[in-house]
Structure 1
Amino acid sequence: MPSIRDVAKEAGVGVGTVSRALSGKGYVAPETKKKILEIAKKLDYNPNEIAKNLASKRTGIIGIVVPDIENPFWGKFLKYTEIELYNNGFKALICNTIGVSNREQDFIDLMKRKVIDGLIVAAHSLNNEAYQGLKRPVISFERDMGPNIPQVCSNHKQGGRLAAEKLLKAGCKQVIQLGGTYNGFTPADERHYEFKRVMEAAGASVTTIGMTWDMVSYEHYRRTMENYMELFSKVDGIFTADIGAYFCLAFAKKKGIRVPEDLKIIGFDGLEITRMSDPQITTIVQDIPAMARICVECMRDMLNGQKVESKYMVDVKVQEGGTV
């Protein structure tokens, strides 16, 4: 296996020059750098990753903590976050908490032991205090963890307003919204507050049914929608997350309720599942790729000692379907 000394010998330069050329840190004359890179490629020389990490005091690994990857929202977020991490020279280590606090704590401990360079956190199984005072970067996704931890989220207030305006334009007067934890640190609650405010300001009646934030599995949504199925015939509009909207549509058909003639349904998230139903579900789309990119850019900048904003909010938009 070739070493850095072999590359230096053939290039006729010192080991330090080879190191600077391969790492991109420090000046090397362009023609010399080109020669070194060509020799390294010819010799199939790959720098020792462990040695590089020891020198930089980094592992190149970022932890991502999510509630439940069964939910396609989190699957999509993980997909785009891993892509962005890879494009920025990082690897991802994923924690699927499924509501178990010690899993989340395990990843905090990994960071304290310098096994991972930073955390992107989207789960709620631990209190915010667990993340205070950590010496490596933490990025909060769709969770308010306090002023010292950057937060990335959708513009939920805009989403709630868009959903309300859509149902009002369709003539809805008696509506249900499912979701919202109202715990004070979940940005998603803003969409439910705004939805209720806009609907009631227009004279509509809103019944709100709260849901546990970390319970996001298909089965949890199915049971929740089934439990409230008897209310469907008493209202003319429903606002919920996409998976909930999917099950609402299925149960409405089961009860012989016509959608959208008798019942309007609007989702929130913009997942692919909304385009798999008949009719396709009208929904509010979150820009998951953009939020993933911002999370990773913040992580990269913090690791490089740069200042970042305390909060990044990404706009949402309406995806037209056939349920409103």
Structure 2
Amino acid sequence: MVGMRDVAKKAGVSVSTVSLVVNASGYVSDEMRSKVERAMRELDYIPNELARNLYRGRTGMIGVIVPTLRHPFFATLVSALQGRLAKHELQTLLCSTADADTGEAEYVSRLRRHMMDGIIMAAHTDHPADYWTSIGRPVVAFDRALGDTIATVRSDHEQGGRLVAEQLVKSGARHVVMVGGPRSQFDDRGEGATTFPTVRYFQTLGERLDAAGIRHEYVACGPVTDVEGYARAVHLLFDRLSESRSGGSARDSGVGDAGIPPVDAIVGSDVVAACAVKEAFAHGLNVPRDVQIIGYDGTCLVDCAGLTLTVIKQDFDTIAERLAARIVDAVNEPEGRESKDGEDSKAGKESNNAAAVDIVPVSLRTGDTTRPVA
């Protein structure tokens, strides 16, 4: 096996010079660097990554914590993020808190013991902010607030709520049902404190619908890890809708009091929207004439639901780019100084005390599940 000594002999330089070139540390003249790189190519020398990382005090590993990979949103996010981290020569160590016996605490322990270089936290946590800020190691949050000094990357969910509301108002919706996680996610622990990302778009949508005089209600499902729970909730919702349309009393149907317009629009994640299309077909309802359906995420499900969904698309590529940039910055600058964003970044940024918050715009793609608007 070719080693540094062989490269040094071939190039006519010292082993320490080869080490400086391989580890990109210290000054080496252009002439010396060219000699070393030429010798490395001729000898087909492959640097020992483990040795390089030990030299740098790094592992080359980034822990990515998500609630589950069974949900298409997190599968799509991890796929994009793994590719971005690889461009920074970083490997992804994945923790799915619902799909494995070890949860976030094990990964935090590894981070504290310098077995990883940093953590990207993309799962709900019950730990208070001082737990995360006391770790003293690089942590970046996705779509949740973990502490005043921890950088966050999130989608512009307020924009998402406005886009959904605009679509529904213009298309003549009269009664909207929002389907999401447990009501506990709306627990107000201070502005921006929630670790549930969808709160912002539900709240913004509700405010806009109120302003337009459109009735709306919220149907709670289980946590994001309970994918089947969303299907069950949508099934029960359509059973009630079908009963009310077929002459059952509104009170018995659970839709509302007599005289209230029937539900004619459903908003939820791509999983919810796909299930809603299936249930509408099963109950003999026409989409979008009888009921409009809007998804939120923009995963592969939007084109696999039987109809092309109208959907709020989160920009997974930009989210992954910003998360990778933030964790690399945190690893390289442990004091937490903010990195300078490139001029071509698509993400907006706001101040959250000492922490940076990158806000990534979303977009509305209209499909076959909403009525045309003027």
TM bin (shorter chain): over 0.9
- 1:42-81 aligned at under 5 Å gives the runs 42-81=42-81
CA–CA distance in 2 between the matches of 1:304 and 1:33? 24
Query: Any idea what SS the aligned residue of 2:305 has?
Result: coil
Whether the 8 Å CA contact 1:101–1:126 is kept in 2: the answer is no
Are 2:62 and 2:117, in contact at CA under 8 Å, matched by a contact in 1?
yes
Q: Which segments of 5 or more consecutive residues in structure 1 lack a partner in the other structure?
A: none
Q: Which residue does 2:201 correspond to in 1?
A: 191
Q: Which residue number in structure 1 is paired with residue 186 of structure 2?
A: 182
- Whether 1:96 and 2:90 are equivalent positions in the alignment is no
Alignment of 1:115 onto 2:115: yes
Counterpart selection for 2:364 from 311, 318, 322: 318
CA RMSD of aligned residues (A): 1.7
Q: How far apart are residue 3 of structure 1 and its match? A: 1.6
Secondary structure of 1:135 counterpart:
coil
- Separation in structure 1 between the aligned mates of residue 28 and residue 99 of structure 2, nearest angstrom: 51
In structure 2, the residue matched to 1:140 is 141
Asked if 1 retains the 8 angstrom alpha-carbon contact of 2:310 and 2:366, the reply is yes
Pairwise CA distance, 1:102: 4.7
Structure 1 stretch displaced more, 306-315 or 265-274 = 306-315
Deviation, structure 1 residue 231: 3.7
SS in 2 for 1:220: helix
Deviations 1:261-316 (A, max 9, x none): 11111110011211123321101000011111101100111111162252111110
**CA distance in 2 between partners of 1:197 and 1:43 (Å):** 67
**Cα separation, partners in 2 of 1:133 and 1:196, compared to 1, 3 Å:** same
Distance 1:303 1:188 in 2: 29
| Structure 1 segment 1-324 matched on structure 2, within 5 A | 1-98=1-98, 102-129=102-129, 130-180=131-181, 181-184=185-188, 185=194, 186-217=196-227, 219-233=228-242, 234-305=262-333, 307-308=337-338, 309-324=355-370
| Distance apart, 1:35 and its partner CA | 2.0
Please tell me whether the aligned partners of residues 314 and 362 of structure 2 are also in contact (alpha carbons under 8 angstroms). Answer: yes
CA change 1:128–1:81 in 2 (3 A) is: farther
Distance 1:126 1:77, change over 3 A: same
Q: Provide the rounded CA distance (Å) in 1 between the counterparts of 2:77 and 2:365.
A: 19
Q: Which runs of 5+ in 2 are unaligned?
A: 189-193, 243-261, 339-354
CA distance in 2 between counterparts of 1:290 and 1:128 reads 28
SS of alignment partner, residue 310 of structure 1: strand
Runs (4+) of structure 1 exceeding 4 A deviation are 99-102
Name which of structure 1's ranges 256-265 and 24-33 shifts more when overlaid on structure 2: 24-33
**Structure 1 residue identity aligned to 2:230:** Y
Name the SS of the counterpart of 1:161 in structure 2: helix
Letter in 2 for 1:246: A
Equivalent-residue separation in structure 1 for 2:186 and 2:240 (angstroms): 22
Between 1:107-116 and 1:228-237, the stretch displaced more is 228-237
Percent identity, aligned pairs only? 33
Distance 2:327 2:295 in 1: 31
Match of residue 249 from structure 2? none
Secondary structure of 1:318's aligned partner:
strand
C-alpha contact 1:252 1:259 (8 A) present in aligned 2: yes
Q: Which moved more, 1:18-27 or 1:71-80?
A: 18-27
Q: Deviations over 1:19-68 (max 9, x none)?
A: 12222222322232122112112222222222222221110100000011
CA contact 2:23–2:52 (8 Å) conserved in 1 = no
Displacement, 1:220?
A: 2.3
**Could you tell me whether the CA contact under 8 Å between 1:232 and 1:252 is conserved in 2?**
no
Which residue is equivalent to 2:257? Answer: none
Q: CA 1:231/1:311 → structure 2, altered by over 3 Å: closer, same or farther?
A: farther
CA distance in 1, matches of 2:366, 2:213: 25
The code of the aligned residue for 2:156 comes to N
CA distance in 2, matches of 1:292, 1:103: 22
Taking the aligned partners of 2:122 and 2:110, their CA distance within structure 1 comes to 17
Q: TM-score, normalised by structure 1?
A: 0.94
